Amino acid sequence: MKTKTKLNSFSLKNKPYLDDLKHTWYLWKKSRLTMVGSILILFFLAVALFSPLLMPFDPVTQDLPNKLRPPSWQHLFGTDQFGRDIFSRVIAGSRLALWIILLVSVISGGIGTTIGIIAGYFGGFIDDLLMRITDMFLAFPSLVLAMAFAAMMGPNLTNMIIAISLVYWTTYARLARAEAIKIKNQPYIESIRSVGAGNLRIIFLHVLPMCISPVLVQLTLRMGTIILTAAGLGFLGLGAQPPTPEWGAMVSDGRNFLVDQWWISTFPGFAIILVVLGFNLLGDGIRDMLDPRLRR
Amino acid sequence: MNIWSFLVKRLLLMVIVLFGVSCIVFFIAHVIPADPVGALVGGNAPPEVVDRMRAKLGYDQPIAIQFVRFITGAVRGDFGISIKTNNPVMEDIRNYFPATMELALVAIVISVFLGVVLGVLSAVHRNRLVDHFSRVFSILGVSMPVFWIGLLLILLFYYKLDWLPGGGRLDFFSYPPDRITGMYLLDSLLTGNWEAFKDAFLHILLPAFVLGYNSTASIARITRSSMLEVLKQDYIRTAKSKGLRRRLVIYRHGLRNALIPTVTIIGLVFGGLLEGAVLTETVFSWPGLGRYITAGLLSLDYPAVMGGTLYIAFIYSLANLIVDFLYAILDPRMRT
């Protein structure tokens, strides 16, 4: 009896949120494309998490007697020029892709939010300076800049992740700045300051939590782009180096065998498409769900 | 504020940004450790050869002097001599850039056409099969890696069907048309060289489609949502109630007004095209600026990389400036 009243008071207090959540759930179920996107992403996450269990062969060990085998029951996606099972390599690549997405999101989101909040909160000269720097980074097509960073630091997986992060932080900086400017003019910030709170306290406890949600939404919207950029760098030879099972590099591996052994390049490409498509469909859905004009 | 002072202000801003861009490019090439001279002469070269090469390229100077040299050169359009091709970098850019520009222009025509058609279809048949199909079709375009779809199309249309050429700008044995702009399609039209036009056209089809299809989604998306907005307006209802044909209402009253946001997104799309061009050019052996930069990066050809990257950033900023300017003309509220 007692728990029931507790539950009731809980649901009463949070009714607006719960209704909102229910409405979101309803919108999600209504949009079939968003559902397809979510399923693709869940599938991708599952494969990435359980990849060691799913791989029938070792993704890196060479097996030259079995090289260039077409797809069969033993090798679902065939084997490459070193006899490595492409099915296993594609699965191993999913974990790598997830790793790249997470690291790039954390690093670029971190840099962007920090710079954006500092610029927006302090304003004046600091704001001008930081935003001009942001403009400079935006003046490059992002892939070109990432290529330059990656090549000059020496092409490998770590440097590629750093390079992509160094290019992608600008969007988050602009978002966080806009949000910080909005928040710092609120009356409650003034009252906190009048009680004696310092800048650091205000930034960490009051501005940062408010800036995070738009940045997080933008991060999810751009995850597909991160994979495409990483794959592009890998394809150009400026990203992960062989024998790392990175999807873009794998497509590039198969280039010389395209005519007779089409499967080497084709299957890693399918993996990229499925995951990026998933993120894009989901992102489109999220954008629609957050759009107040379409929401009600 | 009138439109001219807006333009002057934006131009000044662009100069500042470009200065910063040159700093970034210089920083990338010099502060981060990589050894271009070593890559050039090989690891086992005797020290005096390395020293001579270093002196010849100016890498023995203090970094500040190198920087001043780079900036003063860049202002005059002088990026030094490419280590790999031994030509002045600016001359290389002049040769390679028209190819990229031609590819980007044809691609943008394709993506605007596809995007507007799909967007209008989506909006008119909202939430029906046509809508779902065209949304999936355009999202698929932006989800596919350009290099991958490029490879598969080459496999299909060149190796299997043999309908289209597999790469390059012209057939191996044909001569390029007389140079006017450096864009083969335009040059061959201007000189009336039909042979070359046909050849160049067949060569550009696949890469331009791959590149254009890639940017279709954003145009389709904008067109769809602005078309939906417009179709809700009172004047559309009025036009319909006057008894005008549906087609006429959609195209004359609807599409015309819905296209304004589409125009402004073309600038953004152009930036995406420059990016995709790097990969497309690599796959289709298209001798453009993207491929030039990639080759320079892989062989640590610093002058080529710095010059090429700076030039691309310049073009990109210029495109953005033009778009801002257009936007200011179309929408006076933006002039702040």
Give the pLDDT confidence of B209-221 residue by residue, as tens digits.
999 998 898 899 8
Asked if residue A108 lies in contact with residue A162, where contact means CB atoms within 8 angstroms, the answer is no
Q: What is the pLDDT along chain A (296 residues), one digit of tens a residue?
A: 445 555 566 666 777 778 878 887 887 777 788 888 999 999 999 999 998 888 888 888 887 887 788 888 888 888 888 888 889 999 999 999 999 999 999 999 999 999 999 999 998 899 989 998 998 898 888 888 898 888 888 888 999 999 999 999 999 999 999 999 988 888 988 898 899 888 888 888 888 988 888 888 888 888 999 999 999 999 998 888 878 889 999 998 888 888 888 888 899 999 999 999 999 988 888 877 777 665 55
* Sequence-distant (≥ 6) Cβ neighbours of residue A46 within 8 angstroms: none
Chain-chain contact of B28 with A235 (C-beta, under 8 angstroms):
no
B13 pLDDT exceeds 70? yes
Predicted confidence at residue A94, as pLDDT, reads 93
What is the distance of C-alpha A37 from the center of its chain? 14
Chain-chain contact of A273 with B144 (C-beta, under 8 angstroms):
yes
As a whole number of angstroms, the distance between CA B334 and CA B336 comes to 6
**A241 DSSP 8-state letter:** P
**Main-chain phi, psi angles of A262, to 5 degrees:** -60, -25
The residue whose two tokens read 């539950």 is A7
Residue of chain B whose alpha carbon sits nearest to that of A159:
B32
B334 pLDDT exceeds 60? no
B299 pLDDT exceeds 60? yes
Q: Where on the phi/psi map is residue B9: left (φ > 0), alpha (ψ -120 to 50), or beta?
A: alpha
B114 pLDDT exceeds 60? yes
pLDDT band, very low/low/confident/very high, at B36 (cuts 50, 70, 90): low
* Sequence-distant (≥ 6) Cβ neighbours of residue A182 within 8 angstroms: none
Chain-chain contact of B278 with A144 (C-beta, under 8 angstroms):
yes
Asked if residue A60 lies in contact with residue A80, where contact means CB atoms within 8 angstroms, the answer is no
Asked if residue B276 lies in contact with residue B3, where contact means CB atoms within 8 angstroms, the answer is no
**Mean pLDDT, all residues of chain B:** 83
Predicted confidence at residue A241, as pLDDT, reads 85
Asked if residue B134 lies in contact with residue B220, where contact means CB atoms within 8 angstroms, the answer is yes
Residue of chain A whose alpha carbon sits nearest to that of B298:
A151
* Sequence-distant (≥ 6) Cβ neighbours of residue B103 within 8 angstroms: B204, B207, B208, B211, B277, B280, B281, B286, B288
What is the distance of C-alpha A97 from the center of its chain? 9
Q: Does B12 touch chain A (CB under 8 A)?
A: no
Which residues 277-336 of B are in CB contact (within 8 Å) with A?
278-279, 282, 290, 293-294, 297-298, 300, 305, 309, 312-313, 316-317
Predicted confidence at residue B103, as pLDDT, reads 92
* Sequence-distant (≥ 6) Cβ neighbours of residue B317 within 8 angstroms: A139, B14, B17, B18, B21
Q: Does A217 touch chain B (CB under 8 A)?
A: no
Residue type, position B243, single letter = G
B267 pLDDT exceeds 80? no
A and B: number of Cβ contacts within 8 A: 146
Asked if residue A63 lies in contact with residue A84, where contact means CB atoms within 8 angstroms, the answer is yes
Return the bridge partners of B304, or none. none
- Tokens for B168? 């390059």
- Tokens for A113? 């939010």
The verdict on ipTM greater than 0.95 is no
- Tokens for B63? 């970094």
List of chain B residues whose C-beta atoms are within 8 Å of the C-beta of residue A238: 297-298
pLDDT band, very low/low/confident/very high, at B1 (cuts 50, 70, 90): low
pLDDT band, very low/low/confident/very high, at B233 (cuts 50, 70, 90): confident
Which one of A30, A152, A238, A288 would you mutate to disrupt binding with B, by most B Cβ within 10 Å of its Cβ?
A152
Q: Where on the phi/psi map is residue B265: left (φ > 0), alpha (ψ -120 to 50), or beta?
A: alpha
B240 pLDDT exceeds 80? yes
Q: Does A133 touch chain B (CB under 8 A)?
A: yes
Q: How many C-beta atoms lie closer than 10 Å to residue B23's C-beta?
A: 15
List of chain B residues whose C-beta atoms are within 8 Å of the C-beta of residue A281: 139
Chain-chain contact of B274 with A141 (C-beta, under 8 angstroms):
yes
Chain-chain contact of A144 with B312 (C-beta, under 8 angstroms):
yes
Chain-chain contact of B147 with A147 (C-beta, under 8 angstroms):
no
User: Looking at CA atoms only, how far is residue B200 from chain A in angstroms?
Assistant: 24
As a whole number of angstroms, the distance between CA B74 and CA B307 comes to 8
What is the distance of C-alpha B262 from the center of its chain? 18
Predicted confidence at residue A27, as pLDDT, reads 78
Mean pLDDT of B225-245: 84
Least confident among B44-53, B161-170, B205-214: B44-53
Nearest to B131 by CA among B266, B253, B247, B225: B225
Question: Which DSSP string corresponds to B157-196?
Answer: IIIIS--S--SSSS-TTPPPPPPSSS-HHHHHHHTT-HHH
Residue of chain B whose alpha carbon sits nearest to that of A151:
B297
Predicted confidence at residue B135, as pLDDT, reads 86
As a whole number of angstroms, the distance between CA B141 and CA B209 comes to 10
Chain-chain contact of B135 with A33 (C-beta, under 8 angstroms):
yes
Q: How many C-beta atoms lie closer than 10 Å to residue B155's C-beta?
A: 17
As a whole number of angstroms, the distance between CA B319 and CA B271 comes to 8
List of chain A residues whose C-beta atoms are within 8 Å of the C-beta of residue B271: 141
- Tokens for A105? 């999101």
pLDDT band, very low/low/confident/very high, at B178 (cuts 50, 70, 90): confident
As a whole number of angstroms, the distance between CA B94 and CA A261 comes to 38
What is the distance of C-alpha A140 from the center of its chain? 21
Quote the Cα angle for A33-A37-A41, to 5°. 170
Residue of chain B whose alpha carbon sits nearest to that of A145:
B309
Q: Does A262 touch chain B (CB under 8 A)?
A: yes
B133 pLDDT exceeds 80? yes
Nearest to B224 by CA among B253, B252, B261: B261
Predicted confidence at residue A1, as pLDDT, reads 45
pTM, full prediction? 0.86
pLDDT band, very low/low/confident/very high, at B28 (cuts 50, 70, 90): confident
